[in-house]
Amino acid sequence: MRVTVCDVAPRDGLQNDAQVLDPETRAELVNRLAAAGVQRIEAVSFVSPARVPQMAGAEEVVAAIDRREGVVYAGLALNERGYDRLRETTLDEVHFAFAVSEEFNRRNAGAAVEASVEAGERIVERAHEDGLRATVTLGTAFGCPFEGRVDPARVLELARRFAEGGADELVLADTVGVGVPRQVRELVGEAIGLGVPVGVHLHNTRNTGIANAFAAVEAGATVLDASVGGVGGCPFAPRATGNISTEDLVYLLHGEGIETGIDLDALVEVAQWLEETLGRELEGMVYRAGVFAPVSG
């Protein structure tokens, strides 16, 4: 069995960090991840630097990437203005994201959910016209910090619209880390029935992220977002902590006999480099504890 791990550290990982890294350093992180065997990387976000200064200079980051064959380089767009910028770069894939809960979407994207969905449908269509893949991420799919419980039927209704609209992939995001494995199994299992590949984007706010990732794989998810060192979080989500750590996730997957194509030892070195670069201990565990030999083999 094989799954695709998409490392989102250069985007989601760094967007909430107190340290603002220059475009050259962010491009180096992308290059190091690719060298470690990560085959999909969310490299940048095309958002206003006034709102998210950590993501300034997205075009410069893309220009500084040393592209590797077989690696998919993606960028995040929250609206068509962001997509306009993305399509002028050499990126392979657009990741469109919105929140299924109204209040969170208004705070994060400055729009009502329906307006975001309509924009996303246009972005998917435009991406295909431009020869790009389009992944749609449904945020707050397991719960919202402002509205509480999110009805799974609502998530699936919106997911169905994008599946029918031609999205290449659907990603269910636990934006604030409230989900548990039962929820993940049920929602992923239902989403699989929409006929397009399904992935998950998980945060570890309540220490359920890795368990949720494995539950998603058991339910049929084929794409897992993670962030090297476990860095990250959403600037617009109260008390939201980092994504699940890529090296922690890969350790689990390899131990379970699930292939990723990633060199775990090399990935640990990336986490160690990022720790030095950010000047603080990161949230991941494996890069500090070490790789146990039977798994690394």
**pLDDT interval class at 237 (50, 70, 90):** low
Work out how many domains the chain is built from and give that number: 1
Mean pLDDT (the chain, rounded): 95
Our answer to whether residue 234 is catalytic in this structure is: yes
Top pLDDT among 133 and 18 is at: 133
CA dihedral 277, 283, 289, 294 (to 10 degrees): -100
CATH number, domain of 68, equals 3.20.20.70
Domain that holds residue 259: 4-296
Q: Which of 178, 234, 268, 286 is catalytic?
A: 234
| pLDDT cut 70: percent of the chain above it | 96
pTM of the entire structure?
A: 0.96
